[in-house]
Homo-oligomer: A and B are copies of this chain.
Amino acid sequence: MSENGHTTNGAVKLTRKDFQTDQEVRWCPGCGDYSILAQVQKVMPELGIPKEKIVFISGIGCSSRFPYYMNTYGFHTIHGRAPAFATGVKVANPDLQVWVITGDGDALSIGGNHFMHALRRNVDLKIILFNNRIYGLTKGQYSPTSELGKRNKSAPMGTIDYPINPLSLAFAAEATFVGRSMDVDPKHLATMIERLAAHKGSGFLEVYQNCNIFNDGTFKNFNEREVKEDRMIQLEHGKPLIFGKNKNKGIRLNGVTPEIVTVGENGVTVDDLLVHNENAREPNLPYILGRMQFPEYPVPVGVFRAIERPTYEQMLVGQISTAVETKGAGSLEKLINSGETWVIN
Protein backbone atom coordinates (compact mmCIF):
# COMPACT_ATOMS: atom_id res chain seq x y z
CA MET A 1 0.00 0.00 0.00
CA SER A 2 2.94 2.34 0.05
CA GLU A 3 4.41 1.27 -3.26
CA ASN A 4 4.19 4.81 -4.51
CA GLY A 5 6.38 6.14 -1.84
CA HIS A 6 3.57 7.65 0.13
CA THR A 7 2.84 6.93 3.71
CA THR A 8 -0.33 5.27 4.79
CA ASN A 9 -2.04 5.60 8.10
CA GLY A 10 -2.38 1.86 8.31
CA ALA A 11 -6.14 2.19 8.02
CA VAL A 12 -8.36 -0.28 6.24
CA LYS A 13 -8.01 -0.29 2.51
CA LEU A 14 -10.31 2.23 0.91
CA THR A 15 -12.56 1.45 -2.01
CA ARG A 16 -13.67 3.39 -5.01
CA LYS A 17 -16.89 4.23 -3.20
CA ASP A 18 -15.00 5.98 -0.44
CA PHE A 19 -13.94 8.56 -2.96
CA GLN A 20 -17.42 9.38 -4.18
CA THR A 21 -19.42 12.26 -2.72
CA ASP A 22 -23.12 12.75 -2.22
CA GLN A 23 -23.20 15.50 -4.85
CA GLU A 24 -25.00 14.63 -8.04
CA VAL A 25 -22.58 14.54 -10.96
CA ARG A 26 -23.73 17.22 -13.32
CA TRP A 27 -21.97 16.79 -16.60
CA CYS A 28 -23.96 16.26 -19.76
CA PRO A 29 -24.85 12.65 -20.29
CA GLY A 30 -22.23 11.14 -22.55
CA CYS A 31 -19.48 13.56 -21.58
CA GLY A 32 -15.96 12.16 -21.50
CA ASP A 33 -15.47 13.67 -18.05
CA TYR A 34 -17.35 10.74 -16.52
CA SER A 35 -14.73 8.31 -17.69
CA ILE A 36 -11.90 10.34 -16.22
CA LEU A 37 -13.70 10.67 -12.90
CA ALA A 38 -14.30 6.93 -12.84
CA GLN A 39 -10.66 6.14 -13.45
CA VAL A 40 -9.41 8.58 -10.86
CA GLN A 41 -11.82 7.14 -8.33
CA LYS A 42 -10.65 3.68 -9.27
CA VAL A 43 -6.97 4.48 -8.92
CA MET A 44 -7.25 6.41 -5.67
CA PRO A 45 -7.66 3.47 -3.29
CA GLU A 46 -4.66 1.80 -4.88
CA LEU A 47 -2.41 4.66 -3.83
CA GLY A 48 -2.81 3.83 -0.18
CA ILE A 49 -3.04 7.44 0.84
CA PRO A 50 -5.65 8.35 3.41
CA LYS A 51 -8.43 10.50 1.97
CA GLU A 52 -7.71 13.39 4.26
CA LYS A 53 -4.24 13.76 2.83
CA ILE A 54 -5.51 14.29 -0.67
CA VAL A 55 -6.59 17.62 -2.12
CA PHE A 56 -8.19 18.26 -5.50
CA ILE A 57 -7.93 21.79 -6.78
CA SER A 58 -9.50 23.12 -9.94
CA GLY A 59 -10.17 26.30 -11.85
CA ILE A 60 -13.43 26.94 -13.68
CA GLY A 61 -14.91 24.93 -16.51
CA CYS A 62 -16.95 21.77 -16.87
CA SER A 63 -13.88 19.76 -15.98
CA SER A 64 -13.22 21.95 -12.97
CA ARG A 65 -16.37 20.68 -11.28
CA PHE A 66 -14.32 17.58 -10.57
CA PRO A 67 -13.43 18.27 -6.91
CA TYR A 68 -17.11 18.28 -5.89
CA TYR A 69 -17.27 14.63 -6.84
CA MET A 70 -14.17 13.50 -4.98
CA ASN A 71 -14.59 12.74 -1.31
CA THR A 72 -11.27 14.29 -0.39
CA TYR A 73 -10.41 17.88 0.43
CA GLY A 74 -11.27 20.05 -2.53
CA PHE A 75 -11.06 23.62 -3.76
CA HIS A 76 -12.94 24.87 -6.81
CA THR A 77 -11.11 28.12 -7.31
CA ILE A 78 -11.25 30.71 -10.08
CA HIS A 79 -10.66 30.51 -13.76
CA GLY A 80 -7.12 29.63 -14.73
CA ARG A 81 -5.49 30.02 -11.34
CA ALA A 82 -5.67 26.53 -9.88
CA PRO A 83 -1.90 25.91 -10.09
CA ALA A 84 -1.28 28.97 -7.93
CA PHE A 85 -3.68 27.86 -5.22
CA ALA A 86 -2.28 24.34 -5.42
CA THR A 87 1.25 25.69 -5.00
CA GLY A 88 0.19 27.42 -1.80
CA VAL A 89 -1.42 24.27 -0.45
CA LYS A 90 1.55 22.06 -1.29
CA VAL A 91 4.12 24.49 0.03
CA ALA A 92 2.17 24.95 3.25
CA ASN A 93 1.82 21.24 3.77
CA PRO A 94 4.14 19.04 1.70
CA ASP A 95 2.52 15.97 3.26
CA LEU A 96 -0.56 16.41 1.16
CA GLN A 97 -0.99 14.89 -2.26
CA VAL A 98 -2.20 17.73 -4.40
CA TRP A 99 -4.04 17.30 -7.69
CA VAL A 100 -4.97 19.98 -10.16
CA ILE A 101 -7.88 19.45 -12.50
CA THR A 102 -8.12 21.82 -15.42
CA GLY A 103 -9.41 22.30 -18.95
CA ASP A 104 -7.84 23.49 -22.17
CA GLY A 105 -9.23 26.97 -21.65
CA ASP A 106 -8.51 27.03 -17.97
CA ALA A 107 -4.92 25.81 -18.24
CA LEU A 108 -3.84 27.17 -21.59
CA SER A 109 -5.84 30.31 -22.22
CA ILE A 110 -6.41 32.38 -19.10
CA GLY A 111 -4.20 30.15 -16.97
CA GLY A 112 -1.29 29.54 -19.32
CA ASN A 113 1.16 31.47 -17.21
CA HIS A 114 0.40 29.80 -13.90
CA PHE A 115 0.47 26.43 -15.60
CA MET A 116 3.91 27.16 -16.98
CA HIS A 117 5.34 28.55 -13.78
CA ALA A 118 4.03 25.79 -11.55
CA LEU A 119 5.61 23.26 -13.88
CA ARG A 120 8.95 25.00 -14.07
CA ARG A 121 9.20 25.29 -10.31
CA ASN A 122 8.71 21.55 -10.09
CA VAL A 123 6.15 21.88 -7.33
CA ASP A 124 4.90 18.36 -6.62
CA LEU A 125 1.49 18.76 -8.25
CA LYS A 126 -0.42 16.22 -10.29
CA ILE A 127 -2.04 18.19 -13.08
CA ILE A 128 -4.66 16.59 -15.30
CA LEU A 129 -5.78 18.66 -18.26
CA PHE A 130 -9.09 17.67 -19.82
CA ASN A 131 -8.52 18.68 -23.40
CA ASN A 132 -11.78 18.81 -25.33
CA ARG A 133 -10.54 21.54 -27.65
CA ILE A 134 -13.48 23.77 -26.77
CA TYR A 135 -14.96 25.87 -24.01
CA GLY A 136 -17.62 23.59 -22.60
CA LEU A 137 -18.97 25.52 -19.67
CA THR A 138 -19.49 28.76 -21.56
CA LYS A 139 -21.16 26.87 -24.35
CA GLY A 140 -18.97 26.39 -27.29
CA GLN A 141 -16.34 29.05 -28.00
CA TYR A 142 -12.99 27.97 -29.40
CA SER A 143 -10.09 27.24 -27.09
CA PRO A 144 -6.31 27.50 -27.59
CA THR A 145 -6.29 23.88 -28.74
CA SER A 146 -9.11 24.29 -31.27
CA GLU A 147 -8.10 23.60 -34.82
CA LEU A 148 -7.43 26.51 -37.18
CA GLY A 149 -10.52 27.20 -39.26
CA LYS A 150 -12.95 25.55 -36.88
CA ARG A 151 -16.34 27.24 -36.86
CA ASN A 152 -17.96 27.79 -33.52
CA LYS A 153 -19.95 30.25 -31.46
CA SER A 154 -17.29 32.92 -31.27
CA ALA A 155 -15.77 32.28 -34.70
CA PRO A 156 -18.65 31.82 -37.09
CA MET A 157 -16.29 32.21 -40.04
CA GLY A 158 -13.70 29.89 -38.52
CA THR A 159 -10.95 30.29 -35.95
CA ILE A 160 -7.89 32.26 -37.05
CA ASP A 161 -5.79 31.42 -33.99
CA TYR A 162 -3.11 28.83 -34.57
CA PRO A 163 -3.56 26.19 -31.88
CA ILE A 164 -1.05 25.54 -29.17
CA ASN A 165 0.39 22.13 -28.44
CA PRO A 166 0.03 21.53 -24.69
CA LEU A 167 2.94 19.12 -24.62
CA SER A 168 5.31 21.57 -26.30
CA LEU A 169 4.37 24.07 -23.66
CA ALA A 170 4.94 21.56 -20.88
CA PHE A 171 8.39 20.81 -22.21
CA ALA A 172 9.18 24.49 -22.52
CA ALA A 173 8.12 24.76 -18.90
CA GLU A 174 10.63 22.02 -18.03
CA ALA A 175 7.94 19.71 -16.65
CA THR A 176 9.50 16.65 -15.09
CA PHE A 177 6.61 14.36 -15.95
CA VAL A 178 4.58 14.61 -19.15
CA GLY A 179 1.99 12.09 -20.28
CA ARG A 180 -1.03 11.79 -22.51
CA SER A 181 -4.07 9.55 -22.48
CA MET A 182 -7.75 9.67 -23.42
CA ASP A 183 -11.22 9.25 -22.00
CA VAL A 184 -12.08 6.43 -24.39
CA ASP A 185 -9.30 4.14 -23.19
CA PRO A 186 -10.03 3.65 -19.49
CA LYS A 187 -7.32 1.09 -18.95
CA HIS A 188 -4.58 3.22 -20.39
CA LEU A 189 -5.98 6.20 -18.57
CA ALA A 190 -5.86 4.39 -15.25
CA THR A 191 -2.23 3.45 -15.83
CA MET A 192 -1.31 7.01 -16.66
CA ILE A 193 -3.07 8.32 -13.56
CA GLU A 194 -1.10 5.85 -11.49
CA ARG A 195 2.13 6.95 -13.09
CA LEU A 196 1.26 10.57 -12.48
CA ALA A 197 0.42 9.86 -8.86
CA ALA A 198 3.70 8.07 -8.36
CA HIS A 199 5.78 10.90 -9.81
CA LYS A 200 7.45 13.26 -7.38
CA GLY A 201 7.51 16.72 -8.90
CA SER A 202 5.38 18.69 -11.30
CA GLY A 203 3.50 16.16 -13.37
CA PHE A 204 1.29 16.90 -16.32
CA LEU A 205 -1.17 14.54 -17.94
CA GLU A 206 -3.12 15.60 -21.00
CA VAL A 207 -6.33 13.67 -21.50
CA TYR A 208 -8.18 13.87 -24.78
CA GLN A 209 -11.78 14.26 -23.69
CA ASN A 210 -14.84 14.29 -25.84
CA CYS A 211 -17.34 17.11 -25.34
CA ASN A 212 -20.31 15.51 -27.00
CA ILE A 213 -22.34 18.69 -26.83
CA PHE A 214 -20.10 21.33 -28.33
CA ASN A 215 -17.30 19.47 -30.03
CA ASP A 216 -18.44 15.94 -30.56
CA GLY A 217 -15.94 13.65 -32.17
CA THR A 218 -12.86 15.88 -32.50
CA PHE A 219 -10.61 12.99 -31.67
CA LYS A 220 -12.48 10.24 -33.38
CA ASN A 221 -10.48 10.51 -36.57
CA PHE A 222 -7.72 8.77 -34.76
CA ASN A 223 -9.09 7.39 -31.52
CA GLU A 224 -12.12 5.43 -32.68
CA ARG A 225 -11.82 1.74 -32.14
CA GLU A 226 -11.50 0.85 -35.84
CA VAL A 227 -8.68 3.24 -36.68
CA LYS A 228 -6.93 3.63 -33.38
CA GLU A 229 -4.23 1.07 -33.90
CA ASP A 230 -3.16 2.56 -37.17
CA ARG A 231 -3.42 6.15 -36.11
CA MET A 232 -2.07 6.14 -32.60
CA ILE A 233 1.10 4.90 -31.02
CA GLN A 234 1.77 3.82 -27.46
CA LEU A 235 5.03 5.02 -26.00
CA GLU A 236 6.85 2.62 -23.75
CA HIS A 237 10.14 3.32 -22.11
CA GLY A 238 13.03 1.48 -23.69
CA LYS A 239 10.84 0.06 -26.44
CA PRO A 240 10.98 0.86 -30.15
CA LEU A 241 8.16 2.95 -31.55
CA ILE A 242 5.93 0.41 -33.24
CA PHE A 243 2.28 0.73 -34.16
CA GLY A 244 -0.36 -0.44 -36.60
CA LYS A 245 -2.90 -3.22 -36.65
CA ASN A 246 -0.18 -5.54 -37.82
CA LYS A 247 2.44 -4.11 -35.50
CA ASN A 248 4.64 -3.54 -38.50
CA LYS A 249 4.76 0.21 -38.69
CA GLY A 250 7.32 2.19 -36.86
CA ILE A 251 8.87 5.59 -36.37
CA ARG A 252 12.40 6.29 -37.47
CA LEU A 253 14.34 9.50 -37.20
CA ASN A 254 15.54 11.24 -40.29
CA GLY A 255 17.82 13.89 -38.89
CA VAL A 256 15.50 15.46 -36.34
CA THR A 257 12.33 14.58 -38.25
CA PRO A 258 10.37 11.46 -37.43
CA GLU A 259 9.19 9.39 -40.37
CA ILE A 260 6.85 6.47 -40.66
CA VAL A 261 8.38 3.29 -41.95
CA THR A 262 7.17 -0.23 -42.43
CA VAL A 263 9.26 -2.88 -40.80
CA GLY A 264 10.24 -5.41 -43.38
CA GLU A 265 9.93 -3.03 -46.28
CA ASN A 266 12.91 -1.36 -47.95
CA GLY A 267 15.20 -3.18 -45.62
CA VAL A 268 13.83 -1.49 -42.50
CA THR A 269 14.24 -3.53 -39.33
CA VAL A 270 13.11 -2.96 -35.80
CA ASP A 271 16.61 -1.84 -34.98
CA ASP A 272 16.19 1.17 -37.18
CA LEU A 273 13.30 2.45 -35.12
CA LEU A 274 13.42 5.12 -32.52
CA VAL A 275 13.62 3.73 -29.02
CA HIS A 276 11.65 5.64 -26.46
CA ASN A 277 13.45 7.10 -23.48
CA GLU A 278 11.42 8.83 -20.81
CA ASN A 279 14.41 9.64 -18.70
CA ALA A 280 16.73 11.74 -20.81
CA ARG A 281 17.69 14.91 -18.94
CA GLU A 282 17.05 17.06 -22.01
CA PRO A 283 13.54 16.71 -23.40
CA ASN A 284 14.63 16.78 -27.05
CA LEU A 285 13.15 13.44 -27.93
CA PRO A 286 9.89 13.80 -26.01
CA TYR A 287 9.52 17.22 -27.58
CA ILE A 288 9.79 15.79 -31.07
CA LEU A 289 7.35 13.01 -30.24
CA GLY A 290 4.94 15.45 -28.69
CA ARG A 291 4.71 17.31 -31.97
CA MET A 292 3.62 14.27 -33.97
CA GLN A 293 0.06 14.91 -35.07
CA PHE A 294 -2.61 13.20 -37.06
CA PRO A 295 -2.85 12.89 -40.05
CA GLU A 296 0.90 13.18 -40.74
CA TYR A 297 1.76 10.87 -37.92
CA PRO A 298 0.19 8.46 -35.51
CA VAL A 299 -0.72 10.26 -32.30
CA PRO A 300 1.44 9.16 -29.38
CA VAL A 301 0.01 8.41 -25.95
CA GLY A 302 1.83 7.30 -22.84
CA VAL A 303 4.58 8.81 -20.75
CA PHE A 304 6.73 11.17 -22.78
CA ARG A 305 9.02 12.24 -20.01
CA ALA A 306 9.65 11.28 -16.41
CA ILE A 307 12.73 12.59 -14.66
CA GLU A 308 13.41 13.43 -11.06
CA ARG A 309 14.88 16.54 -9.56
CA PRO A 310 14.39 18.33 -6.26
CA THR A 311 10.94 19.81 -5.91
CA TYR A 312 10.22 23.40 -5.03
CA GLU A 313 8.73 22.57 -1.66
CA GLN A 314 11.63 20.29 -0.79
CA MET A 315 14.09 23.05 -1.49
CA LEU A 316 12.03 25.56 0.44
CA VAL A 317 11.77 23.31 3.45
CA GLY A 318 15.47 22.65 3.04
CA GLN A 319 16.26 26.36 3.26
CA ILE A 320 14.14 26.65 6.37
CA SER A 321 16.05 23.81 8.01
CA THR A 322 19.35 25.34 7.03
CA ALA A 323 18.26 28.69 8.41
CA VAL A 324 17.24 27.12 11.68
CA GLU A 325 20.49 25.20 11.85
CA THR A 326 22.67 28.17 11.16
CA LYS A 327 20.77 30.90 12.95
CA GLY A 328 18.83 28.88 15.48
CA ALA A 329 15.05 28.70 15.63
CA GLY A 330 13.59 32.17 15.39
CA SER A 331 13.26 34.03 18.68
CA LEU A 332 10.68 36.77 18.76
CA GLU A 333 12.48 38.48 21.56
CA LYS A 334 15.61 38.72 19.45
CA LEU A 335 13.75 39.69 16.34
CA ILE A 336 12.03 42.70 17.77
CA ASN A 337 15.15 43.75 19.63
CA SER A 338 17.42 43.54 16.62
CA GLY A 339 19.23 46.52 15.11
CA GLU A 340 20.46 49.56 16.98
CA THR A 341 18.47 49.97 20.20
CA TRP A 342 18.55 52.52 23.02
CA VAL A 343 16.88 52.91 26.32
CA ILE A 344 15.05 55.95 27.59
CA ASN A 345 14.63 56.09 31.34
A→B interface (CB under 8 Å): 109-113, 116-117, 120-122, 144, 157-158, 160-165, 168-169, 171-174, 253, 255-257, 280, 282, 284-285, 287-288, 291, 309, 312, 315-316, 319, 322-323
CB of B112 within 8 A of CB of A116, answer: yes
Q: Which residues of B contact A160 (CB under 8 A)?
A: 121, 312, 315-316, 319
Report how many copies the assembly holds.
2
CB of B319 within 8 A of CB of A157, answer: yes
Q: Which residues of B contact A158 (CB under 8 A)?
A: 319
Given contacts A116-B112, A120-B161, A312-B160, contact A256 B172 (CB under 8 A): no
Cross-chain contact of A117 among B144, B257, B285, B309 (Cβ < 8 A) = B144
A260 CB to nearest B CB, Å: 15
**Closest residue of chain B to A311, judged by CB?**
B160
Given contacts A284-B256, A287-B284, contact A168 B162 (CB under 8 A): no
CB of B257 within 8 A of CB of A255, answer: no
Q: Which residues of B contact A255 (CB under 8 A)?
A: 253, 285
A253 CB to nearest B CB, Å: 7
CB of A284 within 8 A of CB of B312, answer: no
A83 CB to nearest B CB, Å: 12
**Closest residue of chain B to A282, judged by CB?**
B291
Instruction: Give 7 A-B contacts (CB < 8 Å), ordered by A residue.
Output: A112-B116, A113-B113, A113-B116, A157-B319, A162-B309, A168-B171, A172-B172
**Closest residue of chain B to A111, judged by CB?**
B113
Cross-chain contact of A112 among B117, B161, B319 (Cβ < 8 A) = B117
Cross-chain contact of A161 among B109, B110, B144, B312 (Cβ < 8 A) = B312
CB of A144 within 8 A of CB of B120, answer: yes
A161 to B309, CA, bound (A): 12
CB of A162 within 8 A of CB of B122, answer: yes
Cross-chain contact of A323 among B117, B157, B285, B288 (Cβ < 8 A) = B157
A144 to B172, CA, bound (A): 13
A323 to B158, CA, bound (A): 12
Q: Which residues of B contact A116 (CB under 8 A)?
A: 112-113, 116, 164, 169
